[in-house]
Amino acid sequence: MWKKQIATSLVALFISTVGLYVFAAYDDWFGQPRGSGQITGGERSDVLTNALAAEQAAIARGMNEPPDKQILFGDLHVHTTFSTDAFLWSLPIYGGEGAHPLADACDYARHCSALDFWSITDHAEVATPRRWEQTKQSIRACNAISSNGEKPDMVSFVGFEWTQVGQVPEDHFGHKNVIFKGLDDSELAKRPIASGGVAVNTLRTNGKDLIPLPLAFSDFRGRQTYFDIRRFLQEAAEVRLCDPNAPITDLPASCFEVAETPGALVDSLEAQELDPLIIPHGTTWGFYTPVGVNFDKHLKAENRPEKMELVEVMSGHGNSEEYRSFRGAINIDSDALTADCPVPTIDYLPMCWRAGEIIKERCLIDGDDVAECEVRAKRTRDIAAVFSVAAHLSVPGTHIEEWLDAGQCRDCFLPSFGYRPGNSVQYALAIRNFDDPNAPTRLNWGFIASSDNHRARPGTGYKNVDRTRTTEAVHLEEEWRKRVFPKGNKASEPLVLDRAELMERGFGATEQERQASFWTTGGLAAVHAEGRTREEIFEAIKRRETYGTSGPRILLWFNTKDGVPMGGTTKRSGSPIFEVKAVGAHKQKQGCADETVAALGAERIQKLCANECFNPSSERMKITRFEVVRIRPQVSPDEAVEKLIEDPWKVIPCNDTGNGCQATFSDPEFAGSNRMATYYVRAIQEPSKKINADNLRCTYDDEGNCVEVNMCYGDDRTPRDDECLGEVEERAWSSPIYVEHSKE
């Protein structure tokens, strides 16, 4: 009898223990706050820094460039697991490798990628007072390691990302990085400033519920990570909102601040007597950018376009430079929830059109009448056009390969996914705002590129290795893939959802699978600075003496014959004469230099750098040509943008024998044109291999249509060690020179 009582007691104890454990888990007893990590690497050896500086000085002398400036390379767009998406991608469900704290970014930037400068830009949407304080302290610690007077090995900046997502084109302002010059509290914002819109509302209202607790029990070995991310999200949701009616200067540092528009963001920063860099980026990235969006609203005076001094042309999310005339939907009426689907062209297959074709194909297989199938196809196209970023949801039960290359730019250089040409850099430079017809305004950008890496790895473009760590690609195993991307049942009728139902799906309404084929290693920002100090680098950026590269450290100079540098504005009546010079990037040696291994340690080198560092040889890649782009901004609002963008306007071949290339050119049409013109140059490097250079790897028919894709999946269907390499011509984009026309 007593044995039965003991057994009953043990069962009861077990059940109560399990019950208590489950209760504690749901009450977030086990979630631990993540910190900024411990910087382990010391100061970088000056062997590499001095050798590169000496070589560059010799190249500049050979190019007849003044010796008082040097080209420095950095990454102004980096995320750690203080950002929600970065934390999410680090989870076991996505094949993640765990936390990526700020300390990792510091060590990687200094020793793996050997950058001259970098900035942290974690998302403000989940900022808390504790995380902001840790961010500042970590960046200060990273910077202190290299406080070597006038020649620091690396300069570290503090920043955050303002990430705004609108449901319709007129409400979408996109992403801006905010980067501060100094490191003292008085030189930094009191708190990161978040945007309004879907992203913030979703995170603040749902919080930890975005990560269902059963995930921790279904992946019990990795349960702590799931507990931690729920704690991470709940901590952000518990920060009280700042009083929107109180003066900015009266707000405590401990509240959560929201700026609904770029203008409100600038107003808050100015009220704090701050003048940071504010850099739009990912402008054509269609993941959650509504179809039909354009840059026109950014030029409204209330949105403070004059404060957007730079634009990020490219990142690991793809290129946002090029304008194309295609549209994913037309005649969009956001209020009435209607839109028309344009017909395909040889250059573009709209998502909404492909949706109709899939339904029609299914309908015909079912044996239905051809006329009836066409009716269903038309209805599907209209529904998918309204669905915008969720167009793929309009057709139930599709496999992602069925969408072919719908919605993608076929002839762009490393295009961002779901390309939105109305938000491209070229489009933005071609338009003007005519609210005041006597003083139309335009954008006056300098160009940079950066990585937008979400694994605390700044400057990943030095080598195309380790795809699932140096790009945004994840690696889901089959079990998780089927849970994350359930296919459902096929149907020959479209799915109808209203806007509220789409919003309830949150980021589940966005298309994720095909995107894995578009992640690349990131770009770099380059500056012509008078020295290596924080002040010299920041002032060079403020002068717009900047350029971007697609990853390699190409040396580029672009100026007028009489000395106006890239990023500058000049006014003249005669035709301008330009000079452009470029030298290809170093070819890389395998592995890491001995001094790098000594500074960071073999274990850390393997974990962070995958045993591959920036390790230049004495040989450089060759420059094959210069492509000159001319844009003549509107003189009236009815001028068609496509007629104002000439890309390329000139192509100048290079006979690079290993010492680079230089050329002089002019615009004989300018003097008699009676209008301003904007000029920038792309220096094109000889072909090399790059991760996802061929994105969807289409097979085309004789008419140029994609009939089959060979995707680079972010899951078990593509081996983890397959880098998905394709051939690409890496490049550097100069900042424009803006030439205003003078009648005198």
What would the DSSP string read from start to end of 443-457?
A: --PEEEE---BSSS-
pLDDT of residue 3: 63
CA distance to 7, 52, 459, 731, per residue, from 734 (Å): 77, 21, 19, 10
- In whole angstroms, give the CA distance from residue 77 to residue 83: 12
Tell whether the model's pLDDT for residue 253 goes beyond 70.
yes
The one-letter amino acid at 624: T
- Evaluate if residue 21 carries a pLDDT over 60: no
Helix axes of 198-206 and 223-237: crossing angle, nearest 10 degrees: 110
* CA neighbours closer than 13 Å in the CB half-sphere of residue 704: 8
For the chain, percent of residues with pLDDT exceeding 90: 73
Average pLDDT for 289-303: 94
Mean pLDDT of the 663-677 span = 94
Residue 245, in any domain of the structure: yes
Interatomic CA distance for residues 234 and 208, integer angstroms: 5
Contact 353, 387 (CB under 8 A): no
Amino acid sitting at position 591 = G
pLDDT at 229 over 80: yes
- Does residue 434 belong to any structural domain of this protein? yes
Question: 580 lies in a domain?
Answer: no
Residue by residue, DSSP assigns 213-262 as THHHHHTGGGHHHHHHHHHHHHHHHTSPBP-TTS-GGGS-TTSBEE-SSH
The answer, yes or no, to whether residue 184 has pLDDT greater than 70, is yes
- Give the per-residue pLDDT at 26: 58
Which residues lie below 8 Å from residue 626, measured CB to CB, with a gap of 6+?
580, 582, 650, 651, 652, 654, 661, 663, 681, 682, 683, 684
The mean predicted confidence, pLDDT, of the chain is 91
Q: Which residues contact 181 (CB under 8 A, 6 or more apart)?
A: 157, 187, 275, 276, 534, 535, 538
Contact 467, 517 (CB under 8 A): no
Mean pLDDT, residues 125-140 taken together: 96
Domain interval for residue 301: 46-324+418-476+522-551+586-620+687-697+700-728
| Sign of the dihedral through C-alpha 358, 338, 282, 88 | negative
Task: Respond yes or no on whether the N-terminal peptide bond of residue 648 is cis (omega within 30° of 0).
Answer: yes
pLDDT at 2 over 70: no
Choose the weakest-confidence range: 19-28, 628-637, 678-687.
19-28
Residue 492 has pLDDT above 90, yes or no: no
Please check the confidence at residue 650 and state whether its pLDDT lies above 70: yes
Query: Cβ neighbours of residue 348 under 8 Å, at least 6 residues apart?
Result: 324, 326, 409, 410
Highest mean pLDDT among 324-333, 359-368, 423-432, 478-487: 423-432
Residue 203: pLDDT above 80?
A: no
Position 85 pLDDT exceeds 80: yes
- Residues 734, 579: Cα–Cα separation, whole Å: 12
pLDDT at site 216: 79
Banded model confidence at residue 15, pLDDT cuts 50, 70, 90: low
Q: Average pLDDT of 443-469?
A: 95
The neighbouring-strand residues paired with 381 are: none
Average pLDDT over residues 32-41: 89
Residue 413 neighbours by CB under 8 Å, 6+ apart: 319, 321, 322, 550, 728, 729, 731
Q: Is the pLDDT of residue 18 over 60?
A: no
Token pair, residue 37, equals 């990590």
Q: Return d(Cα 614, Cα 618) in angstroms, integer.
A: 13
**Mean of pLDDT values over 600-618:** 95
> Beta 70-75 vs 117-119: how paired, if at all?
parallel
Q: What is the pLDDT of residue 514?
A: 93
pLDDT band at 29 (very low <50, low <70, confident <90, very high): low
Residue 461 has pLDDT above 80, yes or no: yes
Report the candidate in 531, 527, 596 with the shortest Cα–Cα distance to residue 109.
Answer: 596
* Mean of pLDDT values over 141-152: 87
| First CA to last CA distance, the chain | 111
User: Number of structural domains, the chain?
Assistant: 1
- Would you state the pLDDT for residue 743? 74
Distances, alpha carbon 590 to alpha carbons 45, 111, 218, 301, 465, in Å: 19, 15, 41, 51, 11
pLDDT, residue 576, reads 93
Mean per-residue pLDDT for 388-406? Answer: 93
User: What digits encode the pLDDT tens for the residues 213-226?
Assistant: 788 777 888 888 88
Q: How confident is the model at residue 1 (pLDDT cuts 50, 70, 90)?
A: low
pLDDT at 4 over 80: no
CATH number at residue 201: 3.20.20.140
> Could you tell me which residue, 47 or 622, shows the higher pLDDT?
622
Q: How far apart are CA 662 and CA 724, in angstroms?
A: 34
Residue 695 is predicted with a pLDDT of 95
Summarize pLDDT for 511-556 with one digit per residue, the tens: 989 999 999 999 999 999 999 999 999 999 999 999 999 999 999 9
pLDDT for 476: 87
The average pLDDT across 78-97 equals 90
503 lies in a domain?
no
Q: Is residue 568 part of a domain?
A: no
Assigned domain for 19 exists = no
Over residues 34-41, the mean pLDDT reads: 90
Q: Give 565's DSSP letter.
A: B
- Whether 357 has a pLDDT exceeding 70, the answer reads yes
Instruction: Provide the residue type at 217 as one letter.
Output: F
The confidence score (pLDDT) of residue 589 equals 97
Given pLDDT bands bounded at 50, 70 and 90, which one contains residue 485?
confident
Strand 70-75 and strand 524-529: pairing? antiparallel
Asked if pLDDT for residue 285 goes beyond 80, the answer is: yes
Is the confidence at residue 14, as pLDDT, over 80?
A: no
d(CA 406, CA 390): 13
* Band of pLDDT at residue 167, cut at 50, 70 and 90: confident
pLDDT at 202 over 80: no
Residue 99 and residue 34 in contact, taking contact as beta carbons nearer than 8 Å: yes
Is 305 domain-assigned? Answer: yes
Using 50, 70 and 90 to split pLDDT, how confident is the model at 481? confident
